[in-house]
A and B are shown apart, each in its own frame.
Chain A
Amino acid sequence: MNLMIDSILVLLMLAGFLLLTSARLTTCIKIAALQGLMVGLLPVAACGSVLTYRIGAIAMVIACMKGLVFPYLLSRTLRESNTIKELKPYVGYTASIFFGVLSLLASFWLDSRLHLPVAAGSGLVIPVAFSMMMTGIFLIMARRTAVNQVIGYLVMENGIYSFGLAIVRDVPLLVEVGVLMDMFMAVFVMGIAIYRINREFDHMDSDQLNSLKG
């Protein structure tokens, strides 16, 4: 099963890089959906042969939400707006790739320094999780369109989720459900927020949202 975890992790990493270079928002949403789907599969791969109902059910729910529901919500908001492409990001795509490489290196370095107790089956999980968190925060800061910022938030959440999977054996069910519901609501509310911003401003570049200062 180790091979399966490792291949999922490599795909997660690649998805992060693709997000850093893609300008078309529909492509970004699709990549984020794929990444979410794979993050959902991660616990199934990590548990090896002892697949319990609980792990299976949670994996299903997460894969559905991150892989289907969130992307659907995002593409719906996108359809109602006129934005197709991220035209002028704050940080260009070449520079973004450099950041991606640097963040990956930094993640491996951090992992080698921290000696975190790894509960999941692969040593790659923690560095990949770190790099996803950094990529997510980077996307939020470096992109103008609100949809891309939500995608950044999703990528960051994916990173935190994988990180939790790697270091905590199992979180109480109630807490897990609460966290999932909150994340779902957060993305949902962001979707409504974009819709309202869109209606008010006729576009959804968050760089127009800069009149409040001081």
Chain B
Amino acid sequence: MNNGFELPVLVALPVLFAGICLVLPSAMAVLRFCVAGAVLVAAAAGMVVLAVFRGPQVTAAGNWLRLDALSAYHLVVMMMVFVISAVFAVSYFREEISHGEFEVKRARRYGGLWFGAMAAMMLVLVSNNLGIMWVGIESTTILTAFLICIHTTPGSLEAMWKYLVMCSVGVAAAFTGILLAAASAGPAGMHSADALLWTNMMASASKLDPVLIKAAFIFIVVGYGTKAGLAPMHNWLPDAHSQAPAPVSAIFSGFLLNAALYCIIRFLPIVEAVTGNSGWGREILVFFGLLSVVVAAVFIIGQRDVKRLLAYSSVEHIGLVAAGIGLGGLGSFAALLHMFNHSLCKTVSFCCAGKVGQVYGTHDMKVTTDIIRKVPVWGAGLTVGILVLIGVAPFAVFLSEFIMLKSMVDGGRFWLAGIFLSGLGIVFIGALRHAISMAWKPQADGATAPGKFPLLDAFLVFVPLAVLLALGVWIPSQLSVAISRATAVLGGSL
């Protein structure tokens, strides 16, 4: 399929919806419209994704827009995160509307920025031009900054400023990398207008200047790595995730980080092809990935705020995905599977943490105890979510981490396996301690009235968790074929 209209429509739809959000009459209407819009875009995206997995790829606009197996897989994860976040936002903000904290003006701004962020991330995924991809990532920074401080508090303003400055600087560094990549095409004699197209760079990889491509990759890893939350550039992440309203944190953790990581791994095949598959670029990813796991593990132990705990867990899991892709082959397969598992579980966990926080009025884990009894659905969801995230068997996160470990051991890289296991071990113990006290420790005043058990909310929480349970036991062949094809784009053979 060439020059179809599907891909431009995928970007245009959220932009249109963002505009509509600005004129809706009530806060509740905006939230409902978010759900409808997200489902609609997800359906459209689903059709395009099916076309990608049936045929080779979908391109449009003279090859400037292109969706292949890797980006289609990311698109599926993205739409999943956005739909869950939209549905949950109705339940989350309903509480705030009843307290008069979420008036129409605020809701319109929320809806507009929310769909705007969706459009920007969509642009990142469908663009074949590295420059346009950059434009998409920078737009997500600009658009999501004010989503953090929908409720203006000193903390949220601080988090927003830190996020804005750190990510702008980081993404600007990534732009230097893109300039270097464009310069590397000089000796290849490419017309400069086409030089930044990913497909062209792949096709003429042997002619690109290896020194410049290597320099470009370093800038790109550090630059986009800031936005992806790889240690040691992750400082903005726990603040932004903890201060943003829960549905926004869910998008941040569930897909914003992945979108930035996607830009790095999109560049990886070019580096590998230019350096003759020496594994130079992969080693860099393994280094930053495992460093993130270790750093996150250290910070998780002493955490008091549950949303910060989940944020550091995101640093850990993004690190795992980066490291897995660095391993290549089976490791890449596991990493992509892990990305799906993490995004699904983290989205649900942030939603649950947000609701629990609403009931208790704080996110301090010393105060939010006995959550399973007091807020049965969200409390149980949060507890199970944390258990899944730290890799309890037989959930899917355990499976993908196990495959990653196998790929390390098979490759004879026992040192890496050691660091990997100790990092995960520390996270396991640290987070489990918090989870147990939150779930079962009785409240200080002793008496906790058992909360209600709303069925609709339960559906929202437990269906994703059930999916994770099922995936841990059995991976449908369609999914494994899709992941294998996405892995093939990354240049690793299974």
Q: Give the interface of A toward B (CB within 8 A).
A: 114-117, 133, 137, 140, 146, 149, 153, 156-157, 160, 163-164, 167-172, 174-175, 178-179, 181-183, 185-186, 189-190, 192-193, 196-197, 200-201, 206, 209-212, 214
Contacts and interface: CB of A to CB of B under 8 A. Distances in A.
B162 A171 contact: no
B243 interface: yes
A206 B192 contact: no
Contacts of B141: 186
A210 B158 contact: yes
Interface stretch (B28-36, B127-135, B328-336, B426-434): B127-135
B417 interface: no
Contact of B131 (A172, A197, A209): A172
Interface string B311-323: 0000000000000
Of the listed residues A149, A169, A172, A212, the one surrounded by the most CB atoms of chain B closer than 10 A to its CB is A212
Contacts of A179: 131, 134-135, 138, 175
A105 B133 CA distance: 34
A190 B176 contact: no
A189 B183 CA distance: 31
Given A153-B168, A163-B176, A178-B131, A186 B192 contact: no
Given A116-B183, A117-B183, A186-B141, A172 B193 contact: yes
Interface string B91-126: 000000000000000000000000000000000000
Contacts, number: 127
B232 interface: no
B458 interface: no
A190 B180 CA distance: 27
Contact of A214 (B149, B180, B243, B299): B299
B158 A211 contact: yes
Given A167-B183, A171-B196, 7 more contacts: A140-B169, A168-B182, A169-B186, A174-B64, A174-B132, A186-B138, A214-B304
A178 B165 CA distance: 20
B46 interface: no
A201 B182 CA distance: 44
A160 B176 contact: yes
Contacts of A193: 145-146, 157, 160-161, 164
5 contacts: A167-B182, A168-B192, A186-B141, A200-B153, A206-B161
A211 B155 contact: yes
B302 interface: yes
Given A140-B169, A196-B152, A212-B155, A171 B182 contact: yes
Contacts of A181: 135
Given A117-B186, A140-B169, A160 B179 contact: yes
Contacts of B186: 117, 169
A206 B186 CA distance: 43
Given A149-B165, A200-B152, A211-B158, A160 B175 contact: yes
Contact of B132 (A169, A175, A192, A210): A175
Contacts of A163: 176, 179
Interface of B: 64, 129, 131-132, 134-135, 138-139, 141-142, 145-146, 149, 152-155, 157-162, 164-165, 168-169, 172, 175-176, 179-180, 182-183, 186, 192-193, 196, 209, 211-212, 215, 238-239, 242-243, 299, 302-304, 308
A171 B158 contact: no
Nearest to B183: A167
B243 A156 contact: no
Given A146-B161, A189-B146, A200-B152, A182 B138 contact: yes
Nearest to B145: A189
Contacts of B180: 167
A170 B134 contact: no
B192 A169 contact: yes
Contact of A164 (B145, B157, B179, B308): B179
B145 to A, nearest CB: 6
Nearest to A150: B165
B158 A186 contact: no
A126 B344 CA distance: 45
A133 B223 CA distance: 14
Nearest to A170: B192
Contacts of B64: 174
A172 B308 CA distance: 41
Contacts of A160: 172, 175-176, 179
Of the listed residues A133, A157, A171, the one surrounded by the most CB atoms of chain B closer than 10 A to its CB is A171
A163 B179 CA distance: 8
Contacts of A164: 179
A116 B212 contact: yes
B159 A212 contact: yes
A98 to B, nearest CB: 22
B463 to A, nearest CB: 34
Contacts of A182: 135, 138-139, 142
Nearest to B167: A186
Of the listed residues A137, A149, A186, the one surrounded by the most CB atoms of chain B closer than 10 A to its CB is A186
